[in-house]
Structure 1
Amino acid sequence: MDGDGGEWTPRSLAEASHPRGCMQGPRWVVTFRALVVVLAVIAAALGVLWIEAAGVQGASAQLSSDAPGKVTIPPVGKDPQVGEASAAGEAPIQPIGTAAAQAAGLVVHVAGAVKNPGVFTLMPGSRVFQAIDAAGGALPEANLSALNLAATLSDGTQILVPVQGQASPVNPLNPAGPADTGPAPQGLVNLNTATAAQIETLPGVGPVLAERIVAWRTDHGPFTSVEGLNAVTGIGPKLLAGLQELVTVS
């Protein structure tokens, strides 16, 4: 309807059927739907974040329960074993070298039919067979049955290993000491047990020659006869004749 005649026109009929307020409705509906979608996305994101946070806390708790106990690191330069022993009232552990030095103190002389005659250091309580082993073992011609291989050694003992067919020494184990070395009971000097100083008391024998006699005995074993002195450098027939009645090899 126009303003002048009051008649309805197509434009007026359209405006009457659809007021201006109703034309704005679809816009509000679209906006509300978009808001719902946005809120749903935000809620989903928050849910994901909450699930991840819960998983991290659970993993942290698991790691905490599986972690080892507290480890105490001792101060640098301090032996924890020594400290614990001292705290418990026990004696501290001594260096190995000290115990070894205290234990190694048995010195013996192995001579005769062995591969490497000489002086050896053994542990206290060692036996004759151990001293022979230290000298490289017995030679094939050695007469080991003449020795008590199980005898316990003492410090300063001399072990004379005889050869097959050689008269066994009266005392194959000769501990050091004036009672077992030097002149025999008849006043003779025993070439197999006397020291260099005792051999030096013989007429015509000086310090150098006495050392040679002892060295020959160490390298070749005990003398089997007085005539064996011929093998020592510096002893000739004349000197040997003068020593015949003064020495023995028993």
Structure 2
Amino acid sequence: MQAKAKKLIFIAVLLTGCIITSLISTNDKAKTLPGGSSLLQSAQSAVTSKAAQVKTVRVQVSGAVLEPGIYDVPASCRVEEAIAAAGGLTENADSERVNLVRKVRDGMQIRVPVQKAARKSSTRGRKSQVNAGLDGSTTKKSGSNRAGAGKNNSAVQSVRINSASVSELQQLPGIGPALAQRIVETRNSGRFSSAEDLLRVPGIGKAKLAKLRDYVEVD
């Protein structure tokens, strides 16, 4: 009886050891299988890394803003944030005609119109100049004003925008140190082939280009 009992105890111990060994082996295999914890951790890391990347879109902001130009903004931002990136609205901007809460999209052009009162004032000014030119009594006076203007403008020498320094670019009308620096930075990424290429410079719109056109040379 004692021999039989010892034999049963030995078999029980042996089975227990086999079960423990099998459990350890199964746990090790689970860590290396395609569906194991190592693959899960890699997938979680990839998702976290992708979520950390901030997607941006490129938009053009023009019209009644302080610094018209092309800007890279977060894809989740709205029109009001893109306008803020362009320096904000000017005093004569008509913000009521712009949907400020609209979400931006890649390639979008955001144009801020001016107020109707400002447009009418500008139109009246142009009409007054035309009428003065048609009035014979004021023709001579207008001519003298143009002569004086020509004399003042002659003080501004032509500037070669592809080779001029920052200080030389500041001789152009309406160009300060910051805008002159942006002209140089834009030129470094691609030379200007015409005066219209100045529109690539953030802060230079069509109105400012019209003032610069007679004073720039493309070399």
Taking structure 1 as the reference length, the TM-score comes to 0.34
Task: For CA contacts below 8 A with separation 6 or more, give which structure has more relative contact order.
Answer: 2
- Which of the two has higher C-alpha Rg? 1
Q: Higher helix fraction: Structure 1 or Structure 2? A: 2
Taking structure 2 as the reference length, the TM-score comes to 0.38
